[in-house]
Chains A and B, each alone.
Chain A
């Protein structure tokens, strides 16, 4: 006699330890196997894009902090750059260097948090997470020195920065740069060759190259699928064309590759940071920008390579002091779009691994 089985619905979230914020996944399960999946967004929707249209350009900077709150510096940079492009503001040399330094520090900090949570989702009882937070803490302290904030930095301004780096910043940064590669080695020893991590991640949740491109995936998720695409190299902004660095890619597009690409990206960020610290010039920190900015009518799309991928801002100006249209192109949302293809056929436990390896922050997905 054949035993009949019945599939059932399981709601993961909106509140769940592994949904990285408020996110709901409606799974159809056959035992432990996921046969269908429907992501339900919107539980964190705050209408930031609409709110931003009611405020001046300057007042909108804090909104960008609150998108991907683990990558506030890069968010600031992307937005500020878009406005500068729209209003034709030039940025002094020193400020550009500092922007690169802060962006790369933010990339490392974001990857550390992302990888830590990913390993937590694999069931690693917080040990790797807390190791990674040890280094993230040092970066956060650096950010605290220059901006006075630990999460939503709000440090960038149109044309430069709100203030120059404090004296103690560079020595602390140099000290951190000396120790960081050693700490990355330590994570690798703990994790990269761990038998259980390998069997839980290798070949799991493969995102094929074509699908990655078609679904507009970006950042480490895209590069893990074998696409050599990095805005810092392919559409250089700021002064990234002056630095030597490699774009890490992987071929399989599985969960392990996404992990590995991030680890290797952190090493490259350290490389960029070393060059930037060495060449950092003295001089002005702020370009010429009016107090109340009124960019000429027009539109602009400006993008940067954030820690999680291409982060773009599309702004339309009608010549007033407020943006007519304010739109974000978030990497997290688009990286999520191929989730179903990656997850169906795998088990509930793999869902957490795959979801964690995409590294999303829901603040950016829902906006």
Chain B
């Protein structure tokens, strides 16, 4: 067997193991932390600190009856969880856990990740459409509107990093960060995180499943393993965007003293904690408000970020880093305040005959 195949096999196993273990850990962490936020213990019976809880959950999901609605489009219904899940796994191929420790160091790494991640939307839409349920249909309509819209500010916010690095390779981007890009690109980070949370439908943008409105949105009709795949997909997506944010903005695996992989995982966890915190704190937006936020607030901000970054690169290539950081943070707060004044959400009511 050539080196290539050994490399592929080892990394596939590592990636799969990493994703599954992390997802189980995330589920446990989220349940424990939200329990704390909500003044209740959270799961603590299964194993020490409830550590076996996600495993119990997984077993429960696996042995549940797999129901396919009679009137559904069965082929599409069956395929949808796979179409949604596989791209998320593929994203991890280009994420460096340490210097060069990745499945493949693509020279178009970030472009590849963005392209692959977009495919998930198709899976979600397939699920919503094929279920032949109106709640699922509403969820699917929201999916298309929301996920496609937020793709644009997401990509634009990442472009700032690419401009600073001059490379699309994830490994090169990490290496280029003598200072974490979150300091040089605070606005980009803000836009990235907001847009990414909308992409993976986490609160306050969790309209695709919006439990209090459309039951469970696109996966209302799913049960058993198929539902399990969607569940896995959602947490794997959280892992993915945390990993991407770590790589692009937080200096990836770089850090003193500790092993790079530990640094990487620590930073991923910090982003994940933030996402849990938001989820436990604030209510959900309405679909038109989510769209308005994406188009009227995040898009102009991400464009402004590009222009400012370009200006800084061209006009002041040798500026002191500390000064640059100060300017960038000031610009971020200034622009966010300015735009929040300018942009109007709209009333939301439509006159009906």
Contact = CB atoms under 8 A, between A and B. Distances in A.
Interface string B192-212: 000000000001101100111
Contact of A127 (B37, B135, B211, B345): B37
Q: Specify the main secondary structure of chain A where it touches its partner.
A: mixed
Contacts of A125: 34, 203, 279-280
Interface stretch (A221-229, A282-290, A342-350): A342-350
B348 interface: yes
Interface stretch (B20-28, B83-91, B283-291, B308-316): B283-291
Nearest to A17: B212
Interface in A91-127: 119-127
A348 B348 CA distance: 11
B40 interface: yes
A123 B38 CA distance: 15
A348 B212 contact: no
B349 to A, nearest CB: 5
Interface in B219-243: none
A5 to B, nearest CB: 12
Interface string A28-39: 001111111000
Nearest to A123: B284
A196 B206 CA distance: 13
Contact of B345 (A194, A199, A346): A199
B284 A8 contact: no
A203 interface: yes
Contacts of A199: 285, 289, 345
Contact of B352 (A131, A190, A200, A344): A344
B352 A352 contact: no
Contacts, number: 103
Contact of B287 (A10, A32, A35, A352): A32
B282 interface: yes
B38 A130 contact: yes
Nearest to A190: B281
Contacts of A50: none
A138 interface: no
Interface in B100-153: 134-135, 138, 141
A45 interface: no
Contact of B213 (A35, A190, A348): A348
B351 interface: yes
A16 interface: yes
A204 B281 CA distance: 22
Contacts of A335: none
Nearest to B38: A130
Contacts of B39: 130-131, 134
A349 B287 contact: yes
B81 to A, nearest CB: 23
Interface in A183-220: 190, 194, 196-197, 199-200, 203-204
A107 to B, nearest CB: 23
Interface string A3-38: 000001110000011100000000000111111100
A347 B283 contact: no
Contacts of B317: none
B155 interface: no
A196 B352 contact: no
A1 B353 CA distance: 23
A134 B38 CA distance: 10
B347 interface: yes
B214 interface: yes
Contacts of A350: 286, 348
B282 A194 contact: yes
Contacts of A126: 38
Contacts of B135: 10
Nearest to A203: B347
18 contacts: A16-B215, A18-B212, A32-B141, A35-B353, A120-B212, A123-B284, A127-B37, A127-B280, A131-B38, A194-B282, A200-B283, A344-B352, A345-B352, A348-B213, A349-B213, A350-B286, A350-B348, A351-B213
Given A123-B284, A344-B352, 18 more contacts: A10-B134, A10-B138, A124-B282, A124-B283, A127-B281, A130-B38, A196-B282, A196-B285, A200-B285, A204-B349, A345-B349, A345-B350, A345-B352, A347-B348, A348-B213, A349-B284, A350-B348, A352-B212
Interface of B: 34, 37-40, 134-135, 138, 141, 203-204, 206-207, 210-215, 279-289, 345, 347-353
